[in-house]
Amino acid sequence: MIKNKRVVITGVGLLCSLGKDKKEICENIHSARTNIELEKAYFDNQYLTSFYKHKIKNFNIRKVGIDSARLLEMIEWKEGEEINDLYFLIASIKLALDDSRIKYKNEDNVGLVITHENPGLEPFLSKIISNSFEILKNNKTISKVDFFKKIYELCDRSAYDLQTFMFLFHIAKLFNIHGFSLYINNACASGLFALETASQIIKSGKNKIVIVAGSDCPGVYKYLWLNEIGLYAKDGKIKPFAKNRNGFIFGDGGAALILEDLEYATKRNAHIYAEYLGGGFSLESWKVTVPNISQNFYRDAIIKSLKQSRIKPKEIDLINAHGAGTNIIDQYEAKAMTDIFGKNFKKPFITAFKPYVGHNLGGCALLESAMLLFLLGNNFIPPVLNCDEVDPKLKINIVRKEIYSNKISIALKLSCGFGGYDGAVIFRKEI
């Protein structure tokens, strides 16, 4: 590890229900606009169920400067196949690279870190079910061996592409990336783990530039499960830390950040959004959907981030909370914050972004980090939407009205993921 090497963010690409253009996204946040629709799910043209979701409208991969026909040929998929999660990743990376104005060649050895919970899983499940039904409908006496052979013949390539390294492969091939690469899946906290990994790659001297990208396009399969266990908000509103909070809803999206060695970025006169100071992480190793509130793993992750970043709690200006809007996770997050900053603290300010863009699952931490960087650049803190009354049991204050201040410099981003993946990272606006 190279001592005193500093890491900065020089490019941001964001694709969400509020748009893909930086100006458009910021304007929609300023106006508290959301794009929530009632998603109607069908299978084989038969209605299954409906659920609210923050939707990306009229997405076209060509509008970000990528030829979709060439892309389909490169990844050997067919026109019409559901590949939105891969396309969201590709689009956000293209936007981030354009934003950074970086020009690299093979010898520059750019690194790549990708996050996604389970790419391509939902379309694959639909394909398996549909093909299985057709096979059995046409031949009710088929043997298990013959059934296996037919399914294999129809789905072998699709199954192979489910392997996470294939998404990494497709992206690296498209963008001509040859450096250190890694795929990360640590549930909702994946993006923060990815940022720390990218920072360590740069500090180790392996690469001077690392592209970090994450996305998700959750659909009916995950909805059915989350609704069954009582985590999906039936009224279509995420209400972080509210007394009447009742769950979250999905949000389409993808985000990418360009991380660079500060010296390298300075030499090319790059625009710098912020410095990545460091992160802290914990693994609870307890339950999948319920955090271990009897322990202090989340609090410890925050403490570790402060220690690694050499920042004192009083220096933090803003906390961008996970803000899932579920009863127990909000309770757990509030306790982690009050244990460090005190009960009902007035500074740092607390805000949350999921009411604006929905829960992007494995991509949410990175997507919200991108939003945070946009808003820090505008000296703007948006209020937490849908929280008419803060739960008094949580003993926290949240931003209720928009705040403009050029004194917001150091921000703490939090994430509390399923499976007990807890993360906290710190950004500093001024270099």
Mean pLDDT of 245-262: 97
Same domain, 141 and 250: no
Mean pLDDT of 109-120: 92
Which letter does DSSP use for residue 232 in this model? B
* 343 pLDDT above the threshold of 90: yes
Angle, helices 164-175 vs 68-75, to 10°: value is 130
Looking at per-residue confidence, does 233 or 20 come out higher?
A: 233
In terms of C-beta density within 10 A (0-12 exposed, 13-18 middle, 19 or more buried), how is residue 63 classed?
A: exposed
Tell me the average pLDDT of the chain.
94
Same domain, 258 and 369: yes
pLDDT at site 113? 98
Q: How many residues does the chain have?
A: 431
Convert the pLDDT of each residue in 53-111 to its tens digit: 999 988 888 889 988 788 878 877 665 566 688 899 999 999 999 999 998 876 678 99
Are 102 and 14 in contact, with CB atoms under 8 Å apart? no
Same domain, 157 and 171: no
pLDDT at site 80? 57
pTM of the model: 0.95
Least confident of 68-72, 135-139, 203-207: 68-72
pLDDT at site 99? 97
Same domain, 108 and 223: yes
Convert the pLDDT of each residue in 207-216 to its tens digit: 999 999 999 9
Range of the domain at 127: 123-161
| End-to-end CA separation in angstroms for the chain | 21
Give every strand in the sheet of 250-251, ordered side by side: 36-43, 46-54, 250-251
Same domain, 136 and 211: no
The total of structural domains in the chain comes to 2
Place of tokens 């979701």: 53
pLDDT at site 82? 63
Mean pLDDT of 48-54: 97
**Pair of tokens at residue 364:** 């949410």
Flag whether 22 is in a domain: yes
Flag whether 307 is in a domain: yes
pLDDT at site 81? 61
CA distances from 136 to 43, 140, 142 (A): 17, 5, 7
Same domain, 53 and 146: no
**Pair of tokens at residue 178:** 């040859």
> What CA–CA distance (Å, rounded) separates 169 from 174?
9
Flag whether 192 is in a domain: yes
Same domain, 324 and 199: yes
Same domain, 178 and 304: yes
Place of tokens 């946009």: 374
* 171 pLDDT above the threshold of 90: yes
Same domain, 157 and 185: no
Cβ–Cβ contacts within 10 Å for residue 168, how many?
A: 20
* 9 pLDDT above the threshold of 60: yes
pLDDT at site 2? 66
* 163 pLDDT above the threshold of 70: yes
> What CA–CA distance (Å, rounded) separates 387 from 358?
15
**Pair of tokens at residue 321:** 């909370």
Flag whether 2 is in a domain: no
Same domain, 114 and 138: no
CA distances from 225 to 85, 221, 236, 289, 382 (A): 20, 7, 17, 11, 31
Contacts of 140 (CB under 8 A, 6+ apart): none
> What CA–CA distance (Å, rounded) separates 25 from 375?
10
Cβ–Cβ contacts within 10 Å for residue 164, how many?
A: 18
pLDDT at site 104? 84
Last residue of a domain, one of 105, 136, 161: 161
Mean pLDDT of 162-190: 94
Flag whether 75 is in a domain: yes
Convert the pLDDT of each residue in 371-427 to its tens digit: 999 999 999 999 999 999 999 999 999 999 999 998 999 999 999 999 999 999 999
Judged by DSSP in three states, 365 sits in helix
Q: Which phi and psi angles does 404 have, rounded to 5°?
A: -110, 125
